[in-house]
Homo-oligomer: A and B are copies of this chain.
Amino acid sequence: MSNSLIQVIGNVASDIRFNSTAEGIPVASFRLAATERKFDRALSRWVDGDVNWYTVSCWRALAENVTESINKGDPIFVVGRLNVRTWERDERTGISLDITAELIGHDLSRGTAKFQRGIKVMSEESSTYAA
């Protein structure tokens, strides 16, 4: 079991970047925005809070299918391991919340989906992952 397991419901906030490692392993990544809900005592009800931003990565068949299936703006859920990473560029530093996804899908409370089994072969290099 991972030490920081996270489940996020949010909206895809970037295009999907698809790539392959030197060994030919497919990897996809994208930005995910999740609006927090918090209880407003004065109003006695739940209201929108801040937005949490994540960078989601996924691998192999999941990477290929996500690239084929998910578009900027889609409401999705992600389950995976959270890794907090500090970055430096030029004179700026920041923190990135990286999720290595084990499970990704569209949130069917917010729309409909037409599903097709198997994966589309995206390149010859990754064809060994085709089902």
Contacts and interface: CB of A to CB of B under 8 A. Distances in A.
Interface of A: 1-10, 34-38, 49-50, 52-53, 61-62, 65-66, 68-71, 73-77, 79, 81-85, 94-95, 97, 102-120, 131
B107 A105 contact: yes
Copies in the complex: 4
A52 B84 contact: yes
16 contacts: A3-B10, A3-B52, A4-B7, A4-B8, A6-B82, A62-B109, A65-B109, A66-B108, A69-B114, A69-B115, A73-B117, A75-B117, A76-B105, A77-B79, A111-B117, A112-B118
A2 B35 CA distance: 9
